[in-house]
Structure 1
Amino acid sequence: MTVSTQSVNSRYRGLILSIAAFLALIGVLLAFTFYTSSVLERNTTLVNISNKTANNAQAIIKDLFDLRSSVGEHINSPHQKRVRERLEDNTQDIDRLLISMREGSEYNDEAGNSYKIPDITTASEVAALEEAQQDWNKLKPLITAYLKGASDIRVDSSDELALAYEQAKTSSLRMNDALDKLTSEVYKETERQANTIRLIQILGVAAIFAYFLIFVFFFVRRLRDTDAEALAARRETQEIMETVNTGLFLLDKDLNIGQQHSRALNGIIGEDRLSGENFADVLRGRISDKDLKTTRQFIEQLYNPRVKEKLVDSLNPLNKVMLHNTSGEESATNRYLDFKFSRVYEDKDIARILVNVNDVSDAVYLEQRLEKERSQNDMQIEMLTTILNVNPKIINEFISNTKAHIDKMNNILKNPGSSQFELEGKLNAIYREMHSLKGEASALKLHSFTKIAADAEDKLDALQNQGKLSGNNFLPLAVHLDDLLSLSNTIETLGERINQAAPKSHASAQPMKKAAVSASLSSANHASVANQSVATASFVSGNDIDLNDDVADEQLAYYQDFAQDIAVRQGKQVQLNGHNLAHVTIPERLKKPVREISIQLLRNAVVHGIESPEARQAAGKSAIGSIDLEMQRDAQNLIIVLQDDGQGINYEGIRNKLIADGRYNSEEASTLTEGELLKTLFTSGFSTKEHADEDGGRGVGLDVIKALVKEYDGKLNVNSELGKMTRFVITLPTA
């Protein structure tokens, strides 16, 4: 339930105005009290001054009587002098007091105290003061005349003293009466003012008390109504929170969950208590540490007013995130949750973050299922395209070779290995088989095969680099072999269906022959002239099969397509030329190794031998690299020759790579001959390519060639000239 800002402001405006009126009433009463206090203080001062004046008049009579009683005493005696000084001071003091009361001026006493004497304004007060002034005017000249000669021994002042004394008896009494009248008038006025003050204070207090009662009654009722509205709003909010099937809660800057949240949140998150808990603690262990750190940073940015909400929303790390099960129950499964974050503003400040979370597991599983089906459809379309565009014999050979590779890898996996040497040999053997299978699949553009094989190669490469091996390290490879076998069976089934549905006279589709293609520079190195024999082996002779011109053209197109795909990925341009492919008979048992060797040699030439177009032109060569594939046959041997006009073998580059990989130190590497350096190119796991990719860099291709040549008792000859060419000559006995 939402309460408008306007109604809230109106409610508080009334409260503020009521309190202001209440305070104003109190302020008026206090102001009046202060005013009446000042009036009372003025009257008190006036009374004190009047009494002081009367007291001074009495003192004057006393001093005159004292002086008259001490006639005959020396005039400069201490007693005489003290009385005369007191008489003179009192005379001056009465004079100042009367003037101050008449004019309302400031009066300073002997002690240095200052009094502000108020003006006398009422007629009775003025008359009383005037009467006292007249009597003083009669007495003052006589006292002044006496004091003028009283201190001179040569002057007789007794007469002046007698006159002053006689006049003082009359004037002082009349002054006292006048000042008493003045004091009585002031007292009467003070009493009237006090009564008025009491009345006004009683009325003011009564008004304040009545206003307070009204105020309390009105606002208690308003508060009760507000509480009822808040209760109704809370009830509505609670009903919403209990009804919605999404998780709703608020987050503060410290990632603390608010006290109110939807009931569905507990079930979605899988926690019984969430109110007041830290959001990061709830997610810890259920998502990765990296996602948790990113979530913290993401929410910090949401609280940053300078960052636009739409912009930061695209960086949400909890969009369809998998929440791991931490309950320990086997029946519980991981779920996918989708968190949406929105800012909550108070005025223009970001006060909270509203989080809406939904369980999207079903939708994600459906997407995954659809994606899997889509991938399978794409895979089948890919396979159909290959089947329809490649000679059926090549497809059948691929299926047969794939199964042979898989069987061989299965047999290798089954063979136990106890020592590190045996496990490393087992690893290298599987690596070679997987690399050969990937090469054939890549040549047929079967990317599904290629991806599975490439993933398996990544795991094999990691095993090569981890050092110590164990039998359990090979277990995950079984999954890849099952996937490859499944794909092989699928393409075989599709091929059989197409062959059954096709007319008997249907000729296989002929692929287009391609010449120059383009691709990216790889840091492969081949260099100066060498002619090295690598390995020999023997085999049992097989049957010879003639290749007609169509099949020869199919073989050439097959290799050209393969070279084209690699060149495109590597950013290079190549021209593959075939020689004598139509006139050479290949024994049945040599068809598989010939194809594998040719594929590996082609990949090696494009990836490592041919330079980029820019590098070739800078070296004065044509931008298009030339590769020649030739097959020869004599009475005893089948000879495969592959030559490229690339950069040749760089032996110093091999030497530096061996040092960089830590296989040799600088001193040991400097003693290696070109033959020894060349042999390292054919060892498993060594490559001069800086970064591995789909086409090379793992150091397996030449190892595959070496293994095949040894398996068939053949010979391998390498001839290279730095910056000009590299030629591989493979000799395989036919008998």
Structure 2
Amino acid sequence: MATTHNIDNKRYHSLIISIALFLSLIGALLAFTFYTSSLLERNTVLIDQTNQVANSAQAVIKDLFDLDSSYGEDTSSPHIQRVLERLEQNATLITSSINAIEKGGKITDIDGKNYNLPKINSQSQTQITAANEQWQLLEPKIQTYLKDADNIMVDSSDELTQAVEQAKTSSLLINDSLDRLTDEVFINAERQANTIRLIQILGVAAIFAYFLIFVFFFVRRLRDTDAEALAARRETQEIMETVNTGLFLLDKDLNIGQQHSRALNGIIGEDRLAGENFADVLRGRISDKDLKTTRQFIEQLYNPRVKEKLVDSLNPLHKVMLHNTSGEESTTSRFLDFKFSRVYEDKDIARILVNVNDVSDAVYLEQRLEKERSQNDMQIEMLTTILNVNPKIINEFIHNTKAHIDKMNNILKNPGSSQFELEGKLNAIYREMHSLKGEASALKLHSFTKIASDAEDKLDALQNQGKLSGNNFLPLAVHLDDLLSLSNTIETLGERINQAAPKNGSSAKPMAKAPMAVSSSNATRTQFASQSVNNMPVTDGNDIDLSDESDNEHLAYYQDFAQDIAVRQGKQVQLNGHNLAHVNIPAHLKQPIKEISIQLLRNAVVHGIESPEARQSAGKSAIGSIDLEMQRDDQNLIIALQDDGQGIDYEGIRHKLVEAGSFEQEAASQLTHGELLKTLFASGFSTKEHADEDGGRGVGLDVIKALVKEYNGKLNVNSELGQMTRFVITLPAA
């Protein structure tokens, strides 16, 4: 596409030259004014300096007469000393001033300011030379007298008499010469001032006349040019009003042309676009990265060495979402497709023609299709889980998921206005969501895990934002609906598979890996002081005998879970189980035991077991060992988990508390191990540097603490730094 300029820039060349000439005249006049002001200032200083020499000469004569009349007075008297000091100062001043005036040198006034005296003309030079000659006759006699004037041992009367006699002769001649010099300098300065004033008047008159000419000729030309531009705009306006797509031109600086199609305002969503910068229009409506890429893309379009078809494939504004900036609902955000074409003038790239279309409907259709594909992939994932996991475990997961969702819904419905109540709601929802994620992760249901992790990100942000309000919890309802929908989907798939399965067949067993050999010994380990959670009343329930299930089946379930976490964390673990299936678990404790086991196991792999490199450096096996054990007596059910990892670093906890601003350094140093453990179980506290899918948000131990407290149990923790950590949880079985 080719076009021509509506406005010939050459028409403005004479205007620019005229303005530059006008400014040059003003600058020259200002420079001349500064120069002449400096010249006048130096002439003034010269006049002052000649007057000062004359006054000093009179002071010298006066002081000599005073000394002559006071001869015989004590030379150490204040009067004599003051006169001698003044005589010496004035003599020095006259000598330096006459030399400066004669040679045009630099002088310093009484305020310490330096001035450069101007060169004087020949007539003035004659006068200053005459004054200097007389001074050269007088000054040596003064210096001869001053040499021993204050020495009472030397008679200086003759020297004083000679100086006085010479002063009578020289003072009149010096004063006459300086008076004539002053008159000549004053007359010369007045002549220069008149000349400067005349030149300034002529310069101002010339500038004013030039300005009138400029206004008369060039402003009229600008008006004619604007009229031509307006006519050209009217010619294209009718065309632009009939186009249904957004059309506009872009220059190299990304400025939108004055002409664009009427439809562009509605498509972009801006009332004013003509003359605006394209980057400013897009800023805040697309990402900063896309905005930067757009700039680079348009720069390449203006590069004649780059082929247009090649650079078009790099268009960053192809089906881009333009976010709404008016503060209204997000539904006003639309998908727009920008197409860029070069506009040539002769062989040069003059402009870029941009064609914009609203493609929201097409994009939304693509998104729906993509969502359906994702749902199909999710159903395949769920189907794989159903086929490879014991149906009993699947049914338990569905039941537990709905229970967690019901609990979170009930928590959201509970009223709460104070910050304490809102924080309690937040922590309770966080624990339920974390428990649900743990079970889903154990079954490798990544769709559940992804939704739960996204919800935890929002909950974590709420924990860190400080002040809470009821509206902060509204977005969580979307995640709960998604989780419930997934739960219903997997339940429906399970029912269909069960209906199609043979009626007389035994229930499918999960695909479990062979149990790992137990390598850690049962040697007695060093025991440390333990901490416990407050007891709460127990609830009645019925015992369930699981002796018909193999110990290996339960162990394989937890081993798969531990191995998945270890792979993500870059670690190696070996899980050893004891009595996992041969323990009678009360019905009311079955779910909390499972949740506690998952959280303990996750905590051991993420926080307890070190990396293979760190373990080998510490003289350990590269494979970390974890022991999970369950016991039952007449009154209690005991679950214990022990790892041979790095143990609890109490000093690391102190450092975290100080770093987070929870404690001052001195207060943190006073905390006991029990108080530090209590902090470790607090909601939102974690020793992990960065949060991920497996930990770092400070919720896992909080879930354990809440469950133990809910079921009136006890929690004991033993740890040896660098060697082991052992959790023992006792729950009443009655």
TM-score by length of 2: 0.62
**Aligned partners of 2:433 and 2:456 also within 8 Å:** yes
Is 1:645 the counterpart of 2:673? The answer is no
**Aligned partners of 1:514 and 1:561 also within 8 Å:** no
Is 1:376 the counterpart of 2:336? The answer is no
Instruction: Deviation per CA, 1:295-325: give whole Å up to 9, x if none.
Output: 4465356546798978976765423222245
CA distance in 1, matches of 2:344, 2:550: 75
Structure 1 match to 2:420 = 421
Instruction: Deviation per CA, 1:267-289: give whole Å up to 9, x if none.
Output: 64456875555434544565467
Q: Give 2:424's aligned amino acid.
A: G
Q: How far has the Cα of 1:418 moved from its partner?
A: 2.6
Describe the SS at the equivalent of 1:608.
Answer: helix
- Residues 56-455 of structure 1 mapped to structure 2, 5 A cutoff: 247-258=246-257, 265=264, 268-269=267-268, 276-283=275-282, 286-287=285-286, 292=291, 295-296=294-295, 298-300=297-299, 302-303=301-302, 316-324=315-323, 333-341=332-340, 350-455=349-454
Describe the SS at the equivalent of 1:371.
Answer: helix
Structure 2 match to 1:481 = 480
CA distance in 2, matches of 1:582, 1:295: 62
Describe the SS at the equivalent of 1:597.
Answer: helix
CA distance in 2, matches of 1:446, 1:357: 43
**Aligned partners of 2:245 and 2:264 also within 8 Å:** yes
CA distance in 2, matches of 1:3, 1:304: 18
**Aligned partners of 2:434 and 2:700 also within 8 Å:** yes
Structure 2 match to 1:512 = 512
Is 1:701 the counterpart of 2:700? The answer is yes
**Aligned partners of 1:647 and 1:725 also within 8 Å:** yes
Instruction: Deviation per CA, 1:663-714: give whole Å up to 9, x if none.
Output: 1110001001111111111110100001111110010100100111111111
CA distance in 2, matches of 1:706, 1:573: 27
Q: How far has the Cα of 1:533 moved from its partner?
A: 2.7
Report the number of matched residues: 496
**Aligned partners of 2:341 and 2:353 also within 8 Å:** yes
Structure 2 match to 1:464 = 463
Structure 2 match to 1:143 = none
Describe the SS at the equivalent of 2:361.
Answer: helix
RMSD over aligned Cα, in angstroms?
3.4
CA distance 1:307–1:720, change in 2 (3 Å): farther
Is 1:546 the counterpart of 2:530? The answer is no
**Aligned partners of 1:546 and 1:584 also within 8 Å:** yes
Q: Give 2:490's aligned amino acid.
A: I
CA distance in 2, matches of 1:366, 1:496: 32
Q: How far has the Cα of 1:552 moved from its partner?
A: 3.5
CA distance in 2, matches of 1:705, 1:534: 12
Is 1:661 the counterpart of 2:660? The answer is yes
**Aligned partners of 2:2 and 2:343 also within 8 Å:** no
Structure 1 match to 2:718 = 719
Structure 2 match to 1:99 = none
CA distance in 1, matches of 2:405, 2:703: 16
CA distance 1:347–1:601, change in 2 (3 Å): farther
Q: How far has the Cα of 1:351 moved from its partner?
A: 3.5
Structure 2 match to 1:555 = 554
Structure 2 match to 1:606 = 605
Q: Could you tell me the percent identity over the aligned residues?
A: 85
CA distance 1:253–1:681, change in 2 (3 Å): same
CA distance in 2, matches of 1:545, 1:627: 26
Instruction: Deviation per CA, 1:158-215: give whole Å up to 9, x if none.
Output: xxxxxxxxxxxxxxxxxxxxxxxxxxxxxxxxxxxxxxxxxxxxxxxxxxxxxxxxxx
Describe the SS at the equivalent of 1:532.
Answer: coil
- Residues 475-624 of structure 1 mapped to structure 2, 5 A cutoff: 475-506=474-505, 507-513=507-513, 530-535=528-533, 536-548=535-547, 550-624=549-623
**Aligned partners of 1:423 and 1:470 also within 8 Å:** yes
Q: How far has the Cα of 1:419 moved from its partner?
A: 2.1
Describe the SS at the equivalent of 1:255.
Answer: coil
CA distance 1:3–1:726, change in 2 (3 Å): closer
Describe the SS at the equivalent of 1:730.
Answer: strand
Mean Cα displacement is larger for which, 659-668 or 442-451? 442-451
**Aligned partners of 1:545 and 1:588 also within 8 Å:** yes
Q: How far has the Cα of 1:335 moved from its partner?
A: 1.9
**Aligned partners of 1:516 and 1:564 also within 8 Å:** no
Q: How far has the Cα of 1:531 moved from its partner?
A: 3.2
CA distance 1:658–1:483, change in 2 (3 Å): same
Structure 2 match to 1:689 = 688
Q: Give 1:508's aligned amino acid.
A: A
CA distance 1:684–1:332, change in 2 (3 Å): closer
Q: Give 2:662's aligned amino acid.
A: R
Q: How far has the Cα of 1:361 moved from its partner?
A: 1.4
CA distance in 2, matches of 1:483, 1:451: 11
**Gaps spanning 5+ residues in structure 1: where?**
5-230, 518-526
**Aligned partners of 1:528 and 1:651 also within 8 Å:** no
**Aligned partners of 2:2 and 2:345 also within 8 Å:** no
Q: How far has the Cα of 1:717 moved from its partner?
A: 1.0
Q: Give 1:606's aligned amino acid.
A: V
CA distance in 2, matches of 1:514, 1:364: 49
Describe the SS at the equivalent of 2:725.
Answer: strand
CA distance in 1, matches of 2:707, 2:555: 22
Q: Give 1:639's aligned amino acid.
A: I
CA distance in 2, matches of 1:247, 1:286: 17
CA distance 1:330–1:427, change in 2 (3 Å): closer
**Gaps spanning 5+ residues in structure 2: where?**
5-231, 518-524
CA distance 1:719–1:337, change in 2 (3 Å): same
Mean Cα displacement is larger for which, 428-437 or 299-308? 299-308
Describe the SS at the equivalent of 1:684.
Answer: coil
CA distance 1:3–1:498, change in 2 (3 Å): same
Q: How far has the Cα of 1:582 moved from its partner?
A: 2.9
Q: How far has the Cα of 1:380 moved from its partner?
A: 1.2
CA distance in 2, matches of 1:310, 1:238: 31
Q: Give 2:672's aligned amino acid.
A: T
Instruction: Deviation per CA, 1:11-64: give whole Å up to 9, x if none.
Output: xxxxxxxxxxxxxxxxxxxxxxxxxxxxxxxxxxxxxxxxxxxxxxxxxxxxxx
Describe the SS at the equivalent of 2:692.
Answer: coil
**Aligned partners of 1:514 and 1:564 also within 8 Å:** no
**Aligned partners of 2:628 and 2:639 also within 8 Å:** yes
Instruction: Deviation per CA, 1:628-662: give whole Å up to 9, x if none.
Output: 11111111111111111111111111111111111
**Aligned partners of 2:515 and 2:552 also within 8 Å:** no
Instruction: Deviation per CA, 1:577-602: give whole Å up to 9, x if none.
Output: 11112321211111100000000001
Instruction: Deviation per CA, 1:194-251: give whole Å up to 9, x if none.
Output: xxxxxxxxxxxxxxxxxxxxxxxxxxxxxxxxxxxxx9xx99x999x89987645431
| Bigger Rg, structure 1 or 2 | 1
CA distance 1:252–1:512, change in 2 (3 Å): same
**Aligned partners of 1:301 and 1:312 also within 8 Å:** yes
Instruction: Deviation per CA, 1:335-359: give whole Å up to 9, x if none.
Output: 2012244555667765433434333
Describe the SS at the equivalent of 1:627.
Answer: strand
TM-score by length of 1: 0.62
CA distance 1:401–1:733, change in 2 (3 Å): same
